[in-house]
Amino acid sequence: MRKNLLLNGDKFYKANLNSKTSLSSGKLTAKQLKDAYKAKGYSIIAFCDEKPSLYSELSENDFLILTAYRTKIENYNFILYSKNENSIDLVEYNSDISKSKEENINEFIKKASEKGFLVCLEHPCKSMLSYSEIKNIEGLFGIEIANYSSFKEGYLEDNNHIYDRLLRRTIQFPLPIASDGNKNQADFESADNDSFGAYTYINSKDLSYLSVIKALQNGDYYISTGPIFKEIYAENGKLHIKCSPVRSIRMLNEGRDAPVAIAKKGELITEAVFDIDPAFCGRIIRVDIRDENGNFADTVPYLIKEL
């Protein structure tokens, strides 16, 4: 039986899930950012300043502002997405000296989740967070696999390796996120501009706040720094992938080796079919595609037993 893993008859909405405004380290106002991203084909943006504000008045029928804010705890940076469009009740961090740093942070995430936030770990590479400092953090909704602003600053913010190590260890794994984290200190035309480079395609039935939050929670999306997924489905023990022209298509899993299709020199490929063998793959598979410029797109992890 065929199981579609992307695009269940609904639409993809292009989202930047981490944008800084002039209220914090960003140069542009929320309105300027909304206009710029809308003009580039985006439908969703989250303004993630340390001093949060509600921007629901900027939302339109074809553009949604996600209510969010950013906070720094020790060397961890978190983006908190509110499930309630009109509420952004800040979550207090209590440092209990009788507990470890990880325990205190876990308390914070638990409290944030109870208050209706999805908590995402921001740019772990730039924050110098290793796998060993993330592995005991519990309750995360997401982890930024790509952050375009970090890329531009010179950090190697492709966190797929750390993410795979987390997947091998945890049952309740966080989902991958890609976002700009843009501050726009350089103009849009500048080589150092940090907008429009890392995004999330959200597969939602409509652009209502609740539908988009639900899609995020369900993992109905994929992340990208360039290439596009067109179709992914599982059928009769095989995974079928169709995408924009890329250099490689990989079916990453819990193991060391991943079934891969690579284009011949000077050519590109747009589809691949791989066997899904649980004995080889373990519990989880996910798909990574890379184009001729090194830009990549990744799906969320899929549990093989559910395919």
Partner 1 sequence: MKNYLISPLKNQYKANMHSHSTCSDGKLTPEELKKAYKERGYSVFAFSDHITVREHNDLADESFLPLTSAELDVAQQGEECFNLRKAFHFNIISRDPEHFEQVKCLIKNFSLEYINEVIADAKSKNYFVTANHPNWSLFTEEDFLSLDGLDGFELYNCITANFGGALSFTPELYLYLLRNGKRIFSIGADDNHSFCLPFSHPQNDSFGGFTYILSDKLDYKSIINALDNGDMYCSMGPQFFEAYTQENELYIKTSEVKQIGVIGENGKASALNAVCGNTVNSFTADISDMGKFFVLHIVDTNGKHAMTRAFYKGEDF
* Minimum distance, C-beta of residue 213 to partner 1, in the bound complex (Å): 30
Nearer to partner 1, 44 or 284 (CB): 284
For the segment 231-270, give every residue that binds partner 1 (CB under 8 A): 250-260, 262-265
* Minimum distance, C-beta of residue 153 to partner 1, in the bound complex (Å): 5
Nearer to partner 1, 26 or 227 (CB): 227
Residue 171 interacting with partner 1 (CB under 8 A):
no
Specify the residue for token string 């492709």. Answer: 158
In angstroms, the CA 213 to CA 77 distance is: 21
In angstroms, the CA 271 to CA 259 distance is: 13
In angstroms, the CA 300 to CA 307 distance is: 14
For the segment 118-157, give every residue that binds partner 1 (CB under 8 A): 125-128, 130-132, 152-156
User: Is the CB of residue 227 less than 8 Å from the CB of residue 297?
Assistant: yes
Nearer to partner 1, 18 or 159 (CB): 159
Residue 100 interacting with partner 1 (CB under 8 A):
no
* Minimum distance, C-beta of residue 39 to partner 1, in the bound complex (Å): 17
86-88-94 Cα angle (round to 5)? 160
Helix (H) or strand (E) holding 203: strand 199-204
Nearer to partner 1, 12 or 302 (CB): 302
In angstroms, the CA 206 to CA 244 distance is: 24
Residue 271 CB contacts under 8 Å (≥ 6 apart), including other chains? 240, 241, 242, 243, 249
In angstroms, the CA 94 to CA 106 distance is: 11
Nearer to partner 1, 64 or 287 (CB): 287
* Minimum distance, C-beta of residue 160 to partner 1, in the bound complex (Å): 5
Q: Which of 159, 179, 195, 224 binds partner 1 (CB under 8 A)?
A: 159
Which residues lie near partner 1 (CB under 8 A)?
125-128, 130-132, 152-156, 159-162, 164-165, 168, 189-192, 250-260, 262-265, 279-282, 288, 290-295
